[in-house]
Amino acid sequence: MRTTLLIPCVLIITACSSYGTYTVRPGDSLSNIASRHNISVAELSRINNISNPNHIRAGQTLKIRGGAKVKDSRSNQNQYASNRNYKVPPANKNTDHSVQASSTYTNQPIPKMGGWHKPTQGQVIRSFNPNLPGHKGIQIAGNFNQPVNSANNGVVVYAGQGSGGFGQLVMVKHANNVYTAYGYLSSVTVREGQKVSSSQQIGTMGTSPEGKNILHFEVRVNGNPINPTRYVNF
């Protein structure tokens, strides 16, 4: 039995096909695009052959399952951020084309949440800087194949092999629209849709393209990267 996706009233149906399209805007993330279109991050990644959900760029066209090409009818970027505590930054053709969060967002209030634990043991060797490519999280050095654990209770929304990004990757959705991402894994021990508890193993530490045994760890709120140390003590 075929399931029909209902398109919200803020979208204008412009054509009929098995997939619609959506153009990524500055400030978007795969998670908030998926949420607005009522599909999972995993499905959106699969139908667009996205190996690393953290790497999309402004101006990129995504296929959206739902039987129609859709276009957002809202008139400006600020309406995209009406329910979020950040400003949508303008596109900048002279800098990195991956989606950027406002640099001021790191100082904005975040949901209060307990139950956080380190995702793995080791020293932080790269700090958070959302304005630099590859620095939207932190890097933790350790030993090859050492356990990597979920930093809090949640549900696995992505578990798969990346290419050209952060290797094998797991993403976990927590309460309050908080997400964590775990990259450069040598193995993945969970599946999409699985509930995980804080400190439960989700994989093992792998190797970066530079040959270092590290974990790339990100925390995002409403799709925007924040410094993981705001939740987790290292």
- For the segment 95-135, what is each residue's pLDDT rounded down to a tens digit? 332 333 334 355 678 999 999 999 999 999 999 988 887 78
Banded model confidence at residue 149, pLDDT cuts 50, 70, 90: very high
Banded model confidence at residue 40, pLDDT cuts 50, 70, 90: confident
Task: Check: CB of residue 46 under 8 Å from CB of residue 107.
Answer: no
Number of residues assigned to the chain: 234
Higher per-residue pLDDT: 182 or 17: 182
Q: What pLDDT, in 10s, does the model give residues 53-93? A: 767 776 788 888 764 333 343 333 333 333 333 333 333 33
The DSSP secondary structure of 38-71, one letter per residue, reads T--HHHHHHHTT-S-TT--BTT-EEEEESSEEEE
Query: Rounded mean pLDDT of 136-147?
Result: 96
The widest CA-to-CA distance across the chain, in whole angstroms, is: 52
Q: What pLDDT, in 10s, does the model give residues 171-214? A: 999 999 999 999 999 999 999 999 999 999 999 999 998 899 99
What is the SS3 assignment for 1-36? CCCCCCCCCCEEEEEECCEEEEECCCCCCHHHHHHH
- AA letter at 141: A
Task: Check: CB of residue 219 under 8 Å from CB of residue 137.
Answer: yes
pLDDT at 26 (0 to 100): 64
Burial 121-157 (b: 16+ CB within 10 A, else e): ebeeebebbbeeebebbbbbbbeeeebbbbbbbbebb
- AA letter at 170: V
